[in-house]
A and B are shown apart, each in its own frame.
Chain A
Amino acid sequence: MAIDITKIFKKKQTEILERWMQNQLADAGLREDLMSNEDLRAESEELITALVKSLNDKNLSDADSGDFDHVIEILSGISISRARQGYSPRETGLFIMSLKQALIEVVQDEIEGPKELVEVTLKLNRLMDSFSIITFETFIKGREEVILRQTDEISEISTPVIRVWDGIIALPIIGTLDSARTQVVMESLLTEIVESESSVAILDISGVPTVDSLVAQHLLKTVSATRLMGAECIISGIRPEIAQTIVHLGIDLSGIVTKATLASALQYAFRTLRLVVKKEVKAIS
């Protein structure tokens, strides 16, 4: 006796939805703050309708079948939006896993022969597992997008240009100086040189953990660009261990004014601009 799985699911669609909702609501970790029960029901209903529509005896054992494109689309959409809204993997996983449970429960009620039941259950299991994997993959992709966006934001906020004195600007770099970061640094530095009509720019690298040949190259480029604007660029904050490493690596910074600290860079800048900072000597009265 062949089992018509399509017929069973079509007939029992409402029951599956109810069971599924129950399973989901039963979990203590449900995020009612993030989504109302109505929205959850609407999402669940959309997915189950698409699934029942596309499922048949043949593709039951073939998760890669094109018939499931729509199901996967819905599933991925739900998964990505959950990742963005800050759902945990557990909450997202529960959504699809509790559907599997509901489907298997219904099949158990409907199929009598133990052999057929086992067969269908196994197939359903495998199919739903592969949907679960898709759910997790898209969930992670969604999280990665969030992280990438944050990375962009961080690189923007962490490159402030400071007007230290009339004609002198300083830019403390904190973190890694990769290509994208260099672009941001260079742009804000050059813009600020024009706007503030500065003739000295200090690039402080005390907060850069590693100066490898890539970072050095980015620094050299930034210095040349500054010079093209008619300003002088000083690199400060070169720690002793960084200095030793740069020498061994073979990077030639001899054409650049470098200083150990921001203070000595500032002193140098004052001298260039012929400014004198003096301690006031008070006359004793």
Chain B
Amino acid sequence: MKQILNMITATISLNKDHMPVQRDQDVVPFRNRVKEYATKIRMGLVNQTKLQTAASELVRNMLRYGGGGEILIEVVSRGRDNGIRLTFSDKGPGIADIAMAMKDGYSTGKSLGLGLPGTKRLVNEFDIKSELGKGTKVVILKWANG
């Protein structure tokens, strides 16, 4: 946890919120929560859409491959800019080859294989850590005006 946070730009966390996600029905409420936070810090529409889509990809991965997990939503600030940081942690099987999983089109689930690489392109900061048999943790950050 500490390690990952350090890799992401040093920021001040202003406000945080935990959300457990166990079922498909939890996706929409979670996305709406992200939207609420994004609106609160006046994130523009395009950035908001990108953040929501990225969040949606990660929460779906967590449900599909990680067997559900927990998400930490944080409002962070750096100088004059505010942003939203989302931390997705699951206790699933983990990812054997992260470099492979980050490639466009790689999927073990007969899907498009765009979730992880696409998410990375949609956000300002992206970090993934995974340990086989232990679980996966993905942290993303999107600035309101980034």
Contact of B53 among A176, A240, A245 (CB under 8 A): A245
Inter-subunit contact A217/B122 (CB<8 Å): no
Contact of B31 among A209, A248, A249 (CB under 8 A): A209
Shortest beta-carbon distance from A42 to chain B in Å:
36
Q: Which residue of A lies closest to B112 (CB)?
A: A213
Contact of A248 among B48, B50, B52, B56 (CB under 8 A): B50
Contact of A249 among B28, B48, B114 (CB under 8 A): B114
Q: A78 at interface (Cβ–Cβ under 8 A)?
A: no
- A149-167 interface with B by 8 A CB criterion: 151
Inter-subunit contact B114/A213 (CB<8 Å): yes
Inter-subunit contact A250/B114 (CB<8 Å): yes
Q: How many residues of B contact A (CB 8 A)?
A: 25
Q: B57 at interface (Cβ–Cβ under 8 A)?
A: yes
- Given known A-B contacts A249-B118, A250-B117, A216 and B112 have beta carbons under 8 A apart: yes
Interface size class of A (residues with CB under 8 A): 20 to 34
Shortest beta-carbon distance from A239 to chain B in Å:
8
Inter-subunit contact B31/A213 (CB<8 Å): no
Give Cα distance in the complex from A74 to B118, angstroms: 52
Shortest beta-carbon distance from A217 to chain B in Å:
6
Give Cα distance in the complex from A244 to B44, angstroms: 13
Interface centre among A178, A217, A242, A245 (most CB of B within 10 A): A245
Inter-subunit contact A213/B49 (CB<8 Å): no
Provide the B48-65 mask, 1 if CB < 8 A to any CB of A, else 0: 111011001100100000
Contacts of A248 in B (CB 8 A): 50, 118, 121-122
Q: Which residue of B lies closest to A239 (CB)?
A: B49
Inter-subunit contact A250/B52 (CB<8 Å): no
Q: B115 at interface (Cβ–Cβ under 8 A)?
A: yes
Q: B104 at interface (Cβ–Cβ under 8 A)?
A: yes
Contact of B28 among A176, A217, A245, A250 (CB under 8 A): A176
Top 9 nearest A-B pairs by Cβ distance? A249-B118, A241-B49, A212-B56, A248-B121, A213-B114, A241-B46, A250-B114, A213-B112, A245-B53
Q: Which residues of B contact A (CB under 8 A)?
A: 24-25, 27-28, 31, 45-46, 48-50, 52-53, 56-57, 60, 104, 111-112, 114-115, 117-119, 121-122
Beyond A178-B27, A213-B111, A244-B46, 16 additional contacts (C-beta under 8 Å) are A178-B24, A210-B31, A212-B57, A240-B46, A241-B45, A241-B48, A242-B49, A244-B49, A245-B49, A245-B53, A248-B121, A249-B57, A249-B114, A249-B121, A249-B122, A251-B114
A sample of 28 cross-chain residue pairs with beta-carbon separation below 8 angstroms, ordered by A number, consists of A176-B27, A178-B24, A178-B27, A209-B31, A209-B52, A212-B53, A212-B115, A213-B112, A213-B114, A213-B118, A214-B56, A214-B111, A217-B111, A217-B112, A241-B49, A241-B50, A244-B46, A244-B49, A245-B49, A245-B53, A248-B118, A248-B122, A249-B53, A249-B57, A249-B114, A249-B118, A249-B119, A250-B118
